[in-house]
A and B are shown apart, each in its own frame.
Chain A
């Protein structure tokens, strides 16, 4: 995991970035502290004509149907002087309310694609539900599929390519999670604790830690 501001690695449960002290409060100071109401496809930058918009919505709907737990959001805007797609994505994930998404789905089940045609940058962030399954490399692969199209200004085509690859990645990860759930659980579980509350599956995976814990308990 990396800090949205300094892009340094951070601990999975860090309350603030140990390198720069960044928190959501810093992002709110920059982009606003109030919630914003958006649609799952919000084209503030006006880069998607009506026909392209339909194609993109269709692709989004397919993914949402295939993966009932999650939803997709595409947000295009011109960030101007405050352009920092990574921080903006982090803020949007935590401060947006999607009016066309079922109320039982919170933003931690969302995947947000932010596209800024002015600064020519795009980012992808996702909530905690997908935290064990996706990582930076997966999202980067999705974005890189769209790179050539976006270079030429074909935003809709780029988004479609990006979503197609995302669909494949999610299918693969879901199948892997079905086969090896403990592997993914171990990725997000917290550090070992002496009170024995740590679940057995984590202990089974990290054998070295078990030995250490036992020693400490014995002593």
Chain B
């Protein structure tokens, strides 16, 4: 990016020189060149400063609600949804979450001391997490803690909270969805910060525990939900199933009885007697079971005298 700005400046520089050459005034040329040289040396900022009219809302007073969007970047419906979430979080947690929404291409003027904002507005009252959230650029988010809990929450934990929230946000593409994911994850991390504040030693290594517990509880919830659905389905369809089973059983018994009682007949044909036998002659098989090595398959072809002793 730095190279891009340098190249852009160089382009402006060369075009400016061209313009200067056209004027044919050496003094002016020198002045312009000097000015441009200074411009190249000075790093150009890609962010625009937040308009002064909105600065008081960001910096001059303690916010009256948890979501501060004086520029109306979110739109009213999204703003309401996120604000509801933050209110819900505040009701559920002992640490409030304040979010200042700033444009993704904006920045707070550097001469303003943001630490001063924290000490002035958040040193009293409930402990709070304050986030400067850049809409559409969650990676620029700035995370701060109110002075009352700064000591208790380690820097590593703070970084982890911010990183995981940014990761969650970046998984989405729409800026509004990014903010939603960011806030949800941050709320979860704040819960673990609370536990750290409560002195639970087991909660120190929060990441794996959080993941496993969340997954387990989510799986349990999903399972119970499925079970409930299945139960309702079973109750709904049980009469039909019972009827179907009953009919199948009756049909099975009926068919079984028919089969048992079935009588089979053979048509009668005239057969000429053979070998002097009045009733039958010379048909049918013989099998030997004298030796286990002689299988039935080997005896299939009945050969002359093969079974004589």
Contact = CB atoms under 8 A, between A and B. Distances in A.
Interface of A: 1-4, 6-8, 10-17, 22-25, 65-70, 83-86, 89-90, 93-94, 106-108, 110, 119-137, 139-140, 143-144, 147, 150-151, 170-171, 173-175, 177-178, 181, 184-185, 188-190
13 contacts: A1-B283, A22-B275, A66-B262, A83-B308, A83-B309, A90-B275, A107-B278, A107-B280, A110-B279, A121-B290, A123-B286, A129-B266, A151-B292
B289 A128 contact: no
Nearest to A22: B275
A123 B284 CA distance: 7
B277 interface: yes
Given A108-B280, A173-B266, A184-B269, A14 B289 contact: no
A14 B280 contact: no
Contact of B303 (A7, A126, A151): A7
A99 to B, nearest CB: 16
A68 B288 CA distance: 31
A2 B282 contact: yes
A122 B286 contact: yes
Chain B: interface size category = 35 or more
A111 B87 CA distance: 92
A73 to B, nearest CB: 12
Given A24-B277, A110-B279, A85 B271 contact: no
A3 B262 CA distance: 36
A155 B52 CA distance: 108
B302 interface: yes
Given A7-B306, A127-B279, A127-B280, A14 B274 contact: yes
B305 interface: yes
A17 B281 CA distance: 11
B282 to A, nearest CB: 5
Contacts of B198: none
A94 B283 CA distance: 13
A68 B265 contact: yes
A14 B279 contact: no
A128 B305 contact: no
B297 to A, nearest CB: 8
A185 B281 CA distance: 18
B125 interface: no
Contacts of A24: 275-277, 281
B287 interface: yes
B91 interface: no
B3 interface: no
A108 B299 CA distance: 27
A127 B279 CA distance: 5
B269 A132 contact: yes
B58 to A, nearest CB: 91
Nearest to B296: A144
Contacts of A178: 265
A180 B228 CA distance: 58
Contacts of B282: 1-4, 10, 17, 90
Contacts of A93: 277, 279-281
Given A90-B281, A147-B295, 10 more contacts: A10-B282, A11-B274, A13-B274, A14-B275, A15-B274, A23-B276, A66-B263, A94-B279, A124-B284, A140-B296
Contact of B274 (A1, A83, A120, A151): A1
A136 B280 contact: no
A30 B266 CA distance: 34
Contact of A94 (B278, B285, B287, B304): B278
